[in-house]
């Protein structure tokens, strides 16, 4: 089950289908190491290592991303076919990646770089037609003394090594003195914001969630909010590091390219472009958006593997994007769910819940199968990773959809197909794409 939501996302969001997630912060500078050893917990290593705030804050002394290029970041997202960009304005460590007057614990005041990357990123997103969106850790902040948590039990994810007395913590003080003022800064300093992408609501009350939602809409009425504002008050649900089995409305899957969200030099388990495009299709065919993550390095550059993956995805999207953007779940059938690879290690509860650190539960299996989307009267058939010269599609029998024309996107060659009472038989390309062997057919009905 997806997290409950009460709102409705804007049409731009449901039409976009594909966005970029950026996890960038002090954890990017350490790159998976601490005190001479590889850390546990990825970008959460401050928690796992029980690092005092004063010690952790010293990372900022070396954080000098002189190779940061906002234009290049936005261009890579645009060229990959992405329509929006979500970046960590403040993660669980409490360090603001923008110029915050609320707290000097931020990149401008604490790092030798002393610049606000969000200003340049806002301009670059505008240039390339991307919606700029901000991630904000809501119920976790390890710098602030007033933030208790209970994941999965009391004191599970709060800073108890600096601030051990959980009962003395005043969550409302944190909300009023840091959360609300910082959200006001993010919504007034960088132009139109597409989404406030919250994480970990933890002990945030319904009253606090409602007040935060009202604050956001009082400043930017068109800004949408994800389900992690808590208490069922978001506009769309978030599914983290997993794929759903049935179609649904108003949801987004956030997925990493490797194992970690933030940059980690030890992380070498990169997904292939084929697998990532399969994930995109899986999500979109079930009515959702895919938010695909990149973890920039401390110097402001992106891992080569991330860039290569995005370039390959972008080439595929240039040919096949019309079957992705602005589409809906095909009304003709409930997807061919029997072909979905499953991961038995992930429970239903896990798949919809917030995860901690390294938690990738997406299947890595590549199987021959197919999916559908729809736009108006056109139906799009995705044939994924075929292993045969022809494929039979029983869902496209004449009784379901009487086909007038069938074309392969990106090809002028005539497609060989026959449609009967039992289904559609389709001849597949004789020369397969070695990198992303996924083919999209546009079907027009009589």
- 31-52 pLDDT, tens digit per residue, is 999 999 999 999 999 999 999 9
What is the SS3 assignment for 281-328?
HHHHCCCEEEEEEECCCCCCCCCHHHHHHHHHHHHHHHHHHHHCCCCE
What is 11-326's CATH superfamily? Glycosidases (3.20.20.80)
In degrees and rounded to multiples of 5, residue 154 shows phi and psi of: -50, 135
- pLDDT classification of 348: cutoffs 50, 70, 90: very low
Structure tokens that stand for 4 in this block: 């409950």
Over residues 409-424, the mean pLDDT reads 96
The mean pLDDT of 416-440, rounded to a whole number, is: 95
* Distance between CA atoms of residues 38 and 16, nearest Å: 38
Using CA atoms, how far residue 408 sits from 17, 284, 429, 431, in Å, is 21, 19, 9, 13
Homologous superfamily of domain range 369-445: Golgi alpha-mannosidase II (2.60.40.1180)
State the average pLDDT over residues 357-381: 92
Residue 349: pLDDT band by 50, 70, 90 thresholds? very low
The residue that leads in pLDDT, 65 or 342, is 65
Stretch (H or E) spanning 18: strand 18-22
Exposed, middle or buried: residue 255 (CB in 10 Å: 0-12, 13-18, 19+)? buried
For range 250-278, the mean pLDDT: 97
What's residue 5's pLDDT? Answer: 84
d(CA 415, CA 397): 17
Q: Which two tokens stand for residue 300?
A: 């402001």
User: Is the pLDDT at 3 greater than 60, yes or no?
Assistant: no
pLDDT classification of 334: cutoffs 50, 70, 90: low
Q: What are the boundaries of each domain within the chain?
A: 11-326, 369-445
Q: Which tokens go with 37?
A: 């050893």
Q: What is the pLDDT of residue 7?
A: 82
pLDDT score of 274: 98
Do 7 and 235 form a contact (C-beta atoms < 8 A)? yes
Instruction: Give the residue from 107, 110, 109, 111 showing the smallest Cα distance to 121.
Output: 107
- Is residue 355 very low, low, confident or very high in pLDDT (cuts 50, 70, 90)? low
Q: Which pLDDT value is given to residue 256?
A: 98
């Amino acid at each position: 089950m997806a997290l409950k939501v009460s709102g409705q996302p804007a049409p731009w969001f449901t039409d976009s289908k594909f966005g970029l997630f950026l996890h960038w912060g002090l954890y990017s500078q350490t790159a998976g190491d601490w005190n001479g050893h590889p850390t546990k917990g990825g970008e959460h290593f401050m928690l796992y290592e029980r690092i005092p705030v004063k010690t952790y804050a010293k990372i900022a002394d070396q954080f000098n991303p002189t190779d940061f290029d906002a234009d290049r970041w936005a261009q890579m997202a645009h060229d990959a076919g992405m329509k929006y960009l979500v970046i960590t304005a403040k993660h669980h460590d409490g360090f603001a990646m923008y110029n915050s007057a609320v707290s000097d614990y931020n990149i401008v005041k604490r790092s030798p770089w002393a610049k606000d990357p969000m200003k340049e990123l806002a301009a670059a997103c505008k240039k390339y037609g991307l919606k700029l969106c901000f991630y904000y850790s809501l119920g976790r902040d390890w710098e602030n003394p007033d933030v208790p948590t209970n994941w999965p039990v009391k004191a599970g994810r709060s800073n108890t090594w600096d601030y051990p007395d959980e009962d003395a913590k005043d969550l409302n003080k944190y909300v009023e003195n840091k959360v609300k003022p910082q959200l006001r800064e993010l919504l007034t300093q960088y132009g139109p914001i597409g989404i406030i992408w919250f994480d970990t609501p933890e002990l945030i009350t319904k009253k606090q969630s409602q007040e935060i939602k009202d604050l956001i809409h009082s400043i930017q009425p068109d800004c949408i909010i994800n389900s992690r504002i808590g208490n069922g008050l978001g506009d769309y649900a978030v599914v983290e590091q997993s794929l759903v089995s049935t179609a649904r409305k108003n949801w987004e899957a956030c997925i990493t390219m490797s194992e970690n969200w933030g940059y980690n030099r030890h992380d070498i388990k990169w997904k292939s472009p084929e697998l990532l495009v399969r994930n995109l299709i899986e999500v979109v065919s079930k009515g959702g958006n895919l938010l695909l993550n990149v973890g920039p390095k401390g110097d402001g550059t992106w891992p080569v593997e991330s860039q290569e993956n995005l370039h390959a995805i972008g080439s595929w999207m240039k040919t096949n994007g019309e079957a992705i953007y602005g589409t809906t779940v095909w009304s003709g059938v409930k997807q061919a769910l029997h072909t979905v690879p499953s991961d038995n290690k992930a429970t239903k509860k896990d798949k919809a819940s917030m995860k901690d650190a390294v938690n990738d539960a997406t299947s890595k299996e590549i199987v021959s199968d197919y999916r559908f989307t729809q736009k108006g009267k056109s139906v799009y058939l995705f044939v994924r990773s075929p292993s045969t010269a022809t494929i039979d599609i029983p869902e496209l029998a004449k009784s379901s959809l009487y086909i007038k024309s069938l074309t392969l996107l990106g090809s002028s060659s005539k497609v060989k197909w026959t449609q009967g009472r039992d289904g559609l038989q389709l001849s597949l390309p004789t020369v397969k794409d070695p990198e992303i062997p996924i083919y999209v057919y546009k079907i027009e009905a009589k």
